[in-house]
Amino acid sequence: MSYKRISPVSLALSILSAGTLAWAAVSCSESTNSGPSDSGSESGGSSSGSGSSSSTGSSSGGGRSSSSGGGSSSGADAGDAGEGGGACTGTAANQTLVDDMSASTGTAIKFTPPMCARKGTWFDYAGAGGGVIDPTPFKFSGLPTGLPADAGEPEAGPSDAGGGDGGVPGPQAACVSGATGNAPYSSTGMGFNLATTVNPDGGYDIPVAIDAHSHTGIEFWAWGALTDAGTQTQTVTVQVYDKNETPGFGICDPGASGGTACGPSQSQQMYAAGWHAMKIPFSAFVANPGYGDSNEMMLDPSTLTKIQWQVQLSSPDGGTPVPFDFCVYGVSFY
């Protein structure tokens, strides 16, 4: 199966495979969330889901969750939990699979939400200053060729065995291509909320905090395009939010006067073209320096809300947009 490519830069992410895992019963309390849901633009180093970044740091993309599990609208922020964020919670103690991209319709993830919530969905977001991303609205794509046959066992690492879809279930991947904008710190990417609840005041769904502290980190497989110029690498930032870094939980509040910026913990790495397996322990996610003292110094895996993959124009003065073309497959906790 061939896949689109983008020039001049090819991108590869290192991704960990998700095995088929047993679902667990998830505890929760009834949601009584209320308050505003549209977080708008985040200040102090964060950006809104539209991809617009401030001059002090990175962007935090978002997405609007669909109750039907369908594709979410690109560029909308799902990070604001309103005044009552946190009333509904869940646990990942007895389940590790987050998503194998096997949804027959829509982009709902496989992770089983608590009874008080509904499944999260994938979204994408374009960067400020003319950022572009495809597909919009987000939908799953066919797997690029070359996924190793042992993709169901990320511990084994990539192999030369197999080809095409590698004989693994779920012949789809979360893929995006395009370019960041030319604004300072313009960021473009994709991601998902682990679970959400309906906002009683309307607007964007409310993220739910999931306790994953019994796991070590996240794993997935990632693919990056290869340009005609040969193998190249590009920095892709994996971001994980906890409730301390998510607007609406009463901890960070970029919308308030003198409010605190909400910045996710992140892991920045260089990835080569092709399929690669990756494991990232929670301890490897560090605070984004662009948020300064307003950001917590360590990720709290007991209150996770959202995971994102993004490419960023790192210059504080803006400049030439950064092109990208990458896929994510088989996301799990481990």
Q: How many helices (H) and strands (E) does the chain have?
A: 0, 17
| CATH at 29 | 2.60.120.430
CB atoms within 10 A of CB 248: 28
**Residue 23: what pLDDT?**
33
In-domain check, residue 223: no
Share of the chain above pLDDT 90, in %: 42
The domain tally of the chain equals: 1
What is d(CA 55, CA 48) in angstroms, rounded to the nearest whole number?
13
pLDDT one digit per residue (tens) for the chain, 334 residues: 444 433 333 343 433 333 333 333 333 333 333 222 223 222 223 333 333 333 333 334 443 333 333 333 333 333 344 455 668 999 999 999 999 999 988 999 999 999 999 999 999 999 899 999 999 899 999 999 888 887 864 443 333 333 333 334 447 999 999 999 999 989 999 999 999 999 888 888 889 999 999 999 999 999 988 765 555 677 889 999 999 888 878 788 777 666 677 888 999 877 778 899 989 999 999 887 766 555 677 899 999 999 999 999 988 899 999 999 999 999 999 9
In-domain check, residue 102: yes
Tokens of 39: 């977080």
**Residue 231: what pLDDT?**
53
Strand 89-91, strand 141-142: pairing: unpaired
Tokens of 329: 């497959």
In-domain check, residue 289: yes
3-state secondary structure of 110: coil
Q: What is the dihedral of CA 70, 108, 307, 300, to 10 degrees?
A: 130
140 and 128 Cβ atoms separated by less than 8 Å: no
What is d(CA 71, CA 16) in angstroms, rounded to the nearest whole number?
23
What is d(CA 159, CA 145) in angstroms, rounded to the nearest whole number?
13
In-domain check, residue 139: yes
Tokens of 129: 């200053």
Tokens of 9: 């830069």
**Residue 258: what pLDDT?**
66
In-domain check, residue 88: yes
Going from the C-alpha of 113 to that of each of 87, 118, 119, 255, 282, the distances in angstroms are 14, 6, 6, 28, 21
Instruction: Read off the amino acid at residue 194.
Output: L
**Residue 84: what pLDDT?**
55
Domain with 16, as residue range(s), is 1-218+232-334
In-domain check, residue 18: yes
In-domain check, residue 226: no
* pLDDT tens digits for range 255-287: 766 667 788 899 987 777 889 998 999 999 988
Q: Which stretches does DSSP call E strand in the chain?
A: 89-91, 97-99, 118-119, 122-125, 132-134, 141-142, 172-179, 187-193, 195-197, 206-207, 209-211, 217-224, 234-242, 265-271, 274-281, 304-312, 323-333
**Residue 292: what pLDDT?**
55
**Residue 63: what pLDDT?**
38
In-domain check, residue 43: yes
